[in-house]
Amino acid sequence: MCRNIKTLYNFDPPATTTEVNASALQFVRKLSGMNKPSKANEEAFELAVERVAAAAQEMLNTLVTTAAPRDRETEAAKAKARSAARFRKS
């Protein structure tokens, strides 16, 4: 899985449309192997991003959980700590 795609489910406040679109863009970039498509592939690329974003948003809207929503700041701090531990100089 692409490390730039963030978990968007079960947060308070919920994921925004911008976050869902950014994840869809990263997913399509990973699948296609292109950061920016050529003019010939631009329409297909954008359509794929749009459809992936719609599917992701639908999924996020229909998932159910009994767990308490996670706090974005707490999760960001945990990720920062993991990153610091992973990349600290020995």
Arithmetic mean of pLDDT, 41-64: 96
pLDDT in tens, 13-27: 899 999 999 999 999
C-alpha–C-alpha distance, residues 35 and 49, integer Å: 12
pTM: 0.80
Nearest alpha-carbon partner for 13 in 56, 87, 85, 71: 71
Q: Is the dihedral of CA 10, 13, 14, 16 positive or negative?
A: negative
Distant-in-sequence, close-in-space partners of 49: CB < 8 Å, separation ≥ 6: 21, 24, 25, 28
